[in-house]
Structure 1
Amino acid sequence: MRNLVIAVSVALLSACGGGSSDSQATGNTAISPTPSIQPNGIYKSDDAVMIIDTEITHGVLAADSSNNLYLFDTATLNNDTLDLKGVHLWSNSVSFYDSSQTASLTFNGNTASAMTTIDSQSFVHTFVKQPDSLSLNQLIGTHTNTDDGSTWDIDSAGNITINGMCTFSGTLTKNDHYFKVSMTATACSPASYNGDYDGAAFTVDDNGTTQLVGALYSDVSIVWGTVPIN
């Protein structure tokens, strides 16, 4: 997953955003009364990572090694399939949103398979479920990404500050397998990225190195980044 780490780290500096006014649409994540699977968790394929939380709006986020960043409005559990609708795609050269486009994740044990095309970009992965994120007390400290120069400072109260393309300041709140994130961006370059963001943070193993992955989104943009913590 080394290429993924490098590509996604760059996104924290370069960011992705824009799109039509449709990008401000919100959705509700639905779940069947008696689900046959439990999809929530952290997932990794050969060249992508994904986080699923069916209890929240925009509960499925993914990023791949081509620096494509995906966010889905709604996720509805249907037997062994998670039906997704309302697709956002950002990259360094693409800002795409289609409120009517659908996709799906098919589950078999601890794997989730995706096979679709989004704005001419292939979204084909076999994701494997990963352990839950490390706890807050294992993340405390100042961490540096030597690829993009960003620093991530986390304290015992869950306060987090990231210095990169912007100064992001906010909080981490543990939510089952990951952390919910609420942050404000200031001093951004370009200034259009200033503002309030929600998102998620979680850890994944990358060939023996634990990477903390952060994803932040607003109505008009999304930024991702990673930092090694050991």
Structure 2
Amino acid sequence: MLFESLPIFLSKLRCFTAFLNNSEGFPKPLSKEKERELLVAYHEKGDMQARRELINHNLRLVSHIVKKYAGTVSIEADDLISVGAIGLIKAIDSFKYEKGAALATYASKCIDNEILMLIRMNKKHKDCLSLNSKFACDKDGNDVLLMDILESDEDEVEDAVSSSFLMEKINETALKRLSPREREILNKRYGLNGEDVFTQKELAEKLGISRSYVSRIEAKALSLIKDDLSHNYYDKN
């Protein structure tokens, strides 16, 4: 029930980014009486229209909380709004209205939690992965960087490490550990498996997602490949 129409809902949320500095762009908050009426209708009768109204009339709260983070973190506003909306939806779905607490108070905590989780995940990916960090050593003991493997042409890679074997291992890892979306982004970002090379911006436009989302998926995929190859091959040689 939680994600019944979430993809459509989140696509519409991107249009709300322009309203961040104009809270009049959002529906006004509900009265306590109307809010409780809708909560009862949703939780006791499964009224999805009531759920939608609760979401729409609390988007102003998402906007208000996002303003605290916008400009202070390296995450696009539309991503903050999207995860904030997910927090709002979770709050509405799990709220115990019969206890008499205010929905806005509970929802604020859920929205904050989702945004902070995104910030921590984004920071973790930045901290744990660098294309300039040492990836492994070649047969002569020279450092090989992940950037060398993914961006050098075939002849250069063969000089550093057995490229055919390495690409085989990368593809094995991709099939074993990466999702279809992660494989697609990695192939198109680095021209693997005969794909054209795309910038993050070009790929975001092609796939209809944000550039920062492409960046996060790319970082995760590279981290998984680096970890798998480092532990399952280079640590044994």
Structure with more helix by fraction:
2
* Fold shared, TM-score > 0.5 on shorter chain: no
Larger RCO (alpha carbons 8 Å, 6+ apart): 1
Structure with more strand by fraction:
1
Which protein has the larger Cα radius of gyration, Structure 1 or Structure 2?
2
TM-score normalised by structure 1 residue count: 0.30
